[in-house]
Amino acid sequence: MSTARPTRRPYLIIGLLLLAVAAVTAWDASTMRIRANYGVGADAASYLVAVFFCALAVGHFVAAFWGPGTTVEEIDLRAVGWVALALASLVAAISLGAGFILGTTLLFAFTARAFGRRAFLADVLIGAVLGLLVYLLFHGLLTLALPEGPLERLI
């Protein structure tokens, strides 16, 4: 029998953090210099992400004040480590000039591993396809520049 007491504080803390991230995202979007005067600009995606962060924050506040209590679970440090490695790999790939596609490939594969998936090669292939599709969407359709590496220069 578990003696963990129900708590709603994590929902409140995460909701406040999500609001802070939404505010930073909206502020960043407001400081973007828009090159084109037609269509949807680069700032529109950032504003949309800020709205999603606000919606998630509202959901956390609802859970904090009106939702059922939850029991605090143990942190899976191995999963946290894989996610940290995924983010570090993305940053390193972009910083070292390996490009967006390779960075998102590693991000996807390592994050899938954090969630317990063991098919690393398949995840690398899935991540590469998703990274390529996102690159083509942003680069070709939205004409936004993403960090280029050897793979992006071939396209």
What is the tens place of the pLDDT at every residue in 56-106? 999 999 988 887 766 767 889 999 999 999 999 999 999 999 999 999 999
Distance CA 19, CA 57 (A): 6
Residue 39 banded pLDDT, cuts 50, 70, 90: low
CA–CA distance, 135 with 105 (Å, rounded to integer)? 12
Q: Which of 21-30, 38-47, 74-83, 89-98 shows the lowest per-residue confidence on average (mean pLDDT)?
A: 38-47
Percent of the chain with pLDDT over 90: 59
pLDDT at position 27 is: 93
